[in-house]
Amino acid sequence: MVGTISASEGISTNELQLALRNSGMPLEALRWPLTPPGLHYLLCHYDIPMVDVDAWRLELTGRVAQPAVFSLGELKQRETVTVPVTMECAGNDRARMTPRPVSQPWLGEAIGTAAWTGTPLAGLLREAGVSEEGTEVLFTALDCGIEGGIRQAYARSLPISEALEADAILAWGIGDVALAPQHGFPLRLVVPGWYGMTHVKWLRQVTVLDAPFDGYQQTQGYRIRDSPDEPGEPVTRILPRALMVPPGIPDFMTRRRFVASGTHRLEGRAWTGWGEVTRVQVSVTGGERWDDAELGDAVGRHAWRGWSYVWLATEAGDYQLACRAWDSAGNVQPLEPQWNLGGYANNAVQRMAVTVTAG
């Protein structure tokens, strides 16, 4: 975070460079229950490493009774699971905040659902014997860079309870295909329900700590705070969000949508990292009036569920559509962004401009 920019100013070259390196999921891809390969959102802080898998090893160390080193082949001989997980960047929709926090300028498309294949983290930790002093597990990656003036390898920690109980996996594939380089080849962490910064890619070390990790990505980045002087609260689990497939056809330049007057089935997906989605509502009046959408099944316990709503778009004119989700923890999407310095966890409702044309 280097600061903020007023809403009237355009996107800076630094932000554009990030937007062109990182990639969002075009929202029409919400049609697929599992995001097609290459359309899952992607954010890499530094460079994508080119890893020699024969030389690569995962080191498990720190406050464990039996430190160990694993080749990829050794990990693949362990218990293997495939878990559909909806992932979202903590900075999703950051560029809709005012003033705009300067970083990757997402507009809502930093999402995706993949069926990650790997071995449960908890099993590995239990086998190694976590000592009683163990309070956090640190995940250290191969990618290096400079951020906030500090030279670092990307690294994040998880509370020991989450590492042992949150269904986290060490993943080497999507379905039965090896991880693409940009998704963390040969091994990444996947922690269902947590924002994307948690799912450390290009893992090289797992370390059980007996004190809080104080690295940049834990204490500087990914904190909800209003000024750099506050410690703030850590970003953790994904707040609920519903998104809709853009109806009709787009204008190339403005992305405004055009549909012919008539009856349209709006559809989308909704997810949360706090339990399950219990309700989705749709407004075709810019938020004045809300109706319940019909909920479909979840793609998995840790993945989005579909929803649909029949829109009687009988009158030509300009409309603003919106949708919002509730979850079983009692969270509901706010109508407006909740500003914070880093632009994190903005789950304000999606709004979509649609022109209905005479049949």
Question: Rounded to the nearest whole angstrom, what is the least distance from the CB of residue 18 to a copy of itself in the complex?
Answer: 8
Tokens at residue 345, please?
């966890």
**Residue recorded with tokens 């990656």:** 141
In sequence order, what DSSP letters do the residues of 314-356 get, joined into one string? -S-EEEEEEEEEEETTS-B--SS----TT-----PPEEEEEEE
Sign of the CA dihedral running 112, 113, 119, 123:
positive
Q: Which is nearer to a copy of itself, 49 or 62 (CB)?
A: 49
Query: What one-character-per-residue DSSP string does 50-105 give?
Result: ---TTT--EEEEESBSS-EEE-HHHHHTS--EEEEEEEE-TTTTGGGSSSEESSS-
- The whole-angstrom separation of Cα 124 and Cα 248 is 48
* Cβ proximity of 191 and 162 under 8 Å: yes
Using alpha carbons, list the distances in angstroms from residue 264 to 259, 308, 323.
9, 10, 15
What's the min distance (Å) between Cβ of 142 and a copy of itself? 12
- Report in angstroms the alpha-carbon separations of 335 from 98, 273, 346, 353: 14, 19, 11, 16
Q: Which is nearer to a copy of itself, 38 or 286 (CB)?
A: 38
CB of 248 to a copy of itself, least distance (A): 9
Residue among 50 and 211 whose Cβ is closer to a copy of itself: 50
Residues in the chain: 359
Q: How far is the CB of 247 from a copy of itself (least distance, A)?
A: 10
Nearest approach, Cβ of residue 12 and a copy of itself (Å): 6
Nearer to a copy of itself, 86 or 272 (CB): 86
Q: Which is nearer to a copy of itself, 120 or 221 (CB)?
A: 221
Shortest spacing between CB 138 and a copy of itself, in angstroms: 20
Cβ closest to a copy of itself, residue 37 vs residue 317: 37
C-beta of 14 vs 131, nearer to a copy of itself: 14
Q: Which is nearer to a copy of itself, 18 or 83 (CB)?
A: 18
CA nearest 102: which of 193, 198, 18, 176? Answer: 18
In the complex, least distance from residue 158 CB atom to a copy of itself, rounded to whole angstroms: 22
Both tokens of 2, joined, read: 């280097």
- 180 or 332: whose CB is closer to a copy of itself? 180
CA angle centred on 317, ends 313 and 323, rounded to 5°: 55
Nearest distance from C-beta of residue 103 to a copy of itself, angstroms: 7
Please, are residues 116 and 190 in contact by the beta-carbon 8 Å criterion?
A: yes
Q: Which two tokens stand for residue 297?
A: 């099944």
Contact positions toward a copy of itself, by CB under 8 A?
Answer: 2, 5, 9-12, 14-21, 23-24, 26, 28-29, 31-32, 36-40, 42, 44-48, 50, 95, 102-103, 105-107, 109, 144-147, 151, 180-183, 246, 249-255, 258
**Cβ proximity of 216 and 148 under 8 Å:** yes
- The nearest distance, CB 123 to a copy of itself, in angstroms, is 29
